[in-house]
Structure 1
Amino acid sequence: MTTRRAFMASLLAAGTAPHMGWAAAGNSAFLAAAKERDDSFALYGLDTEGRATFRIPLPARGHAGAGHPDRAEAVAFARRPGTFALVIDCARGAVMHRLTPPDGAQFNGHGVFADGGATLFTSEQTGTTSEGNVGVWDVHAGYTRIGSFPTGGIGPHDLRLMPDSATLAVANGGIATDPADRAKLNLDTMQPNLTYLSFAGEVLQQVTLPSDLHQNSIRHLAVRSDGLVGFAMQWEGAPGSATPLLGLHRIGQKATLATAPLADEMAMQGYAGSIAFGGDGRELAITSPRGGRLHRFSDTGGFLGAVSRADICGLAPRRSGYLASDGLGGLFGIHAGERRALDRHTCAWDNHIVAL
């Protein structure tokens, strides 16, 4: 007799299993990768209170993920430089597909669904040159790779779908790296940029930094529903420089760089690990695991204050505030500058929390 589990497994293998929404995965609201106590790795689903809704093993360290807009399906990306991306049925705990980049290329930790979930875009770079590419995958055809186009820079990292549902924003970090050991090869000639691309690969606008900030690598992005983009940076220049780590931009306009008071800026140690708008969109924040701090800013770039927490990094919008994580297993809510413990897990959270 064929069991229900065996029947479902056969459907998954054939790619014909019925699709279920996120309610079937414990009403998951977030995704987060983590390292377990036994040095293994996993992808977690989390609800709005930081409780685990599912846990799925990963073959190596994960970085960020992409959640399908309609069904309980996620893509877990390897930490840069990585060559695996797993498509996971989060309701059933099954790996549906294993994606690999073209020979000589690597995934750079981030991706995003578009076209109502019919297309997946992935951040990639060529190993030998660090030239950036966006990989294009047909979801309905079983995540078949159907093309790619340049990101408009080197060392791309985060990419996001803009509210018009027809434009991608890409953070080109500007860093050339050795494909074997991630050694940085071009710190003196870095040219990071924020690039907006059509789905056909046309460069719609490119934003660069002033020449004295050319070593400020643009790494992570947050996008508000009206098209305001926040970008988080990591300083690769001389240690001890109090450089701005947050920028704001709208298509067709110039970028605004947001600064904190000198002592606060120094405390971030030149590193912003994650960025998110608060749940109501009126403010945004960046985190620094190196500095153990979260900095809040208004949507015009005004500094609102700091929150301290050792090894804080993961950040996502939650109601009118944020959900944040640390490398000690902690999950907590931040609202109006106040931190409230939500849950603690026996793992070390990786850099990012992805809102579903």
Structure 2
Amino acid sequence: MVIDRRAILKGLAAAVAAGLAPGRASAARRPPLYVSCRMDAEGKASATMFSLDGQEIFSTLLPTRGHDATARPASSEIVVFARRPGNWFAVIDATKGGEARTILAAKDRHYYGHGVFTPDGRLLYATENDITSGAGLLGIYDAGDAYRRIGEISSRGIGPHDLAFLPDGKTLVVANGGLRTALETGREVLNPDDIQPNIALIEAAHDQTLAALQLHQPYRALSIRHMAVARDRTVAFGCQYQGDPNDLPPLVGTVSADGKIGLFEMPEVELMGMSNYVGSIALDKSEDIVAATSPQGGSVALWNRRTGEFLTTERMGDVCGVAALPETHDFLLTSGNDGVRSYVEGAETMARVTGDKMQKWIWDNHLLPIDV
């Protein structure tokens, strides 16, 4: 996601001066920045932007635990969503960091933790729940008018979680996880016997359904949660299994540009290490490699996106956040109890990102790379 480079020039200058620590990055390249939510030892939640050498660009307190973030194109604004089921999102100005505007959910609505801007940055779509009916919704917010809620459309399912635009900038892809929740009951699944996940493709401007893709019947208990979209329109997705914990269904797959779903295989012993749960998913810089994290299993698994070939797993306690590093096939990873590390292809071990602060925080689910 591209944001206004001038808006964070001051923070960047500090990051550039310190240099890049992990990986094989060139000193001539602008250092990447990342945004993630975190908690301290007392449970106080915040959102932070940091560089790979551990420089903190900003840290902003949040009302409660955060989940994911999205950057407004051609702007210094970053929107952070509450963990599901949440009733707020925060708008942070990256030039100031400490100042946030909080937007509360509409009556009888709650958020599911994710949102995406239109490519022009004018509108924000957020995954939401109609608390009364349980229907999944995409709330629409006018970013140019103090994020006023101007409408909503159906998500074409229940429990929409992650969403993104395809490269055409017109088609929304929505991961409807199939799980109904409510604010008063927290994360309790209210429809355990009627989970119907799908991946919906919606022409956003005209609210037109292009497809609602479901997994085959044996895998209907796979709640589709998170996605990463490639430039060729392939959508990689990760799932959280809601069935018998002794089952070992595949957890990661792709939807090709022509709408075909394929699930990735992996050795049974490695699959057991994922504990039927994918917390986040990302593509590397080349978009050749899919990485999926499992905080429950304490592991990150990698596949070749184009062939579906399983590559390897790496161990990291409570790992969840994952994003591409500047070099091909490399990833940055965050953990609830094991700090921030870089996975570099060919390295014997994962390296810790420098800076003591980076290692002491309880990092939350997702990691947003900022292209400046």
TM-score by length of 2: 0.87
Q: Which residue of 2 aligns with 1:195?
A: 200
Kindly indicate whether the alpha-carbon contact (under 8 Å) linking 1:240 and 1:269 is maintained by their aligned counterparts in 2.
Answer: no
Equivalent position SS for 2:286: coil
Q: In 1, Cα distance between the equivalents of 2:7 and 2:49?
A: 13
Q: In 2, Cα distance between the equivalents of 1:231 and 1:297?
A: 12
Could you tell me how far 1:155 is from its partner in structure 2?
A: 0.4
Q: Which has the higher contact order (CA 8 A, sep 6+)?
A: 2
Could you tell me how far 1:49 is from its partner in structure 2?
A: 3.9
2:295 counterpart of 1:289: yes
Change (3 A) 1:179 1:250: same
Q: Which residue of 2 aligns with 1:306?
A: 313
Q: In 2, Cα distance between the equivalents of 1:25 and 1:196?
A: 38
Q: Which ranges of structure 2 fall in alignment gaps of 5 or more residues?
A: 16-31
Change (3 A) 1:138 1:232: same
Kindly indicate whether the alpha-carbon contact (under 8 Å) linking 1:24 and 1:72 is maintained by their aligned counterparts in 2.
Answer: no
Kindly indicate whether the alpha-carbon contact (under 8 Å) linking 2:86 and 2:183 is maintained by their aligned counterparts in 1.
Answer: no
After superposition, where does 1:212-223 map in structure 2 within 5 Å? 212-223=218-229
Q: Which residue of 2 aligns with 1:248?
A: 254
Amino acid corresponding to residue 331 of structure 1 in structure 2: V
Equivalent position SS for 1:153: coil
Amino acid corresponding to residue 330 of structure 1 in structure 2: G
2:33 counterpart of 1:29: yes
1:276-315 deviation line (CA, Å, top 9, x unaligned): 0012211111000111110000013210010111111100
C-alpha RMSD of matched pairs (Å): 1.8
Kindly indicate whether the alpha-carbon contact (under 8 Å) linking 2:59 and 2:98 is maintained by their aligned counterparts in 1.
Answer: no
Amino acid corresponding to residue 342 of structure 2 in structure 1: G
After superposition, where does 1:101-180 map in structure 2 within 5 Å? 101-180=105-184
1:239-276 deviation line (CA, Å, top 9, x unaligned): 12111110101232311100210111111110000000
Q: Which residue of 1 aligns with 2:235?
A: 229
Change (3 A) 1:337 1:105: farther
Change (3 A) 1:106 1:296: same
Q: In 2, Cα distance between the equivalents of 1:341 and 1:347?
A: 13
**Aligned-residue identity in percent:** 32
Change (3 A) 1:337 1:190: farther
Kindly indicate whether the alpha-carbon contact (under 8 Å) linking 2:124 and 2:140 is maintained by their aligned counterparts in 1.
Answer: yes
TM-score by length of 1: 0.91
Q: Which residue of 1 aligns with 2:366?
A: 352
1:92-132 deviation line (CA, Å, top 9, x unaligned): 12435321222010011111111321111111111233311
Could you tell me how far 1:177 is from its partner in structure 2?
A: 2.2
Q: Which moved more, 1:289-298 or 1:195-204?
A: 195-204
Kindly indicate whether the alpha-carbon contact (under 8 Å) linking 1:313 and 1:351 is maintained by their aligned counterparts in 2.
Answer: yes
1:81-100 deviation line (CA, Å, top 9, x unaligned): 11111111121124353212
Q: Which residue of 1 aligns with 2:335?
A: 326
Kindly indicate whether the alpha-carbon contact (under 8 Å) linking 2:52 and 2:353 is maintained by their aligned counterparts in 1.
Answer: no
Change (3 A) 1:24 1:148: farther
Q: Which ranges of structure 1 fall in alignment gaps of 5 or more residues?
A: 1-17
Equivalent position SS for 2:48: strand
Change (3 A) 1:207 1:184: same
Equivalent position SS for 2:269: helix
Q: Which moved more, 1:290-299 or 1:45-54?
A: 45-54
Q: Which residue of 1 aligns with 2:19?
A: none
Kindly indicate whether the alpha-carbon contact (under 8 Å) linking 2:36 and 2:68 is maintained by their aligned counterparts in 1.
Answer: yes
2:214 counterpart of 1:205: no
Amino acid corresponding to residue 193 of structure 1 in structure 2: N
Kindly indicate whether the alpha-carbon contact (under 8 Å) linking 1:35 and 1:41 is maintained by their aligned counterparts in 2.
Answer: yes
Could you tell me how far 1:75 is from its partner in structure 2?
A: 0.7
Kindly indicate whether the alpha-carbon contact (under 8 Å) linking 2:51 and 2:57 is maintained by their aligned counterparts in 1.
Answer: yes
Change (3 A) 1:326 1:96: closer
Q: Which residue of 2 aligns with 1:315?
A: 322
Could you tell me how far 1:142 is from its partner in structure 2?
A: 2.1
Could you tell me how far 1:236 is from its partner in structure 2?
A: 0.5
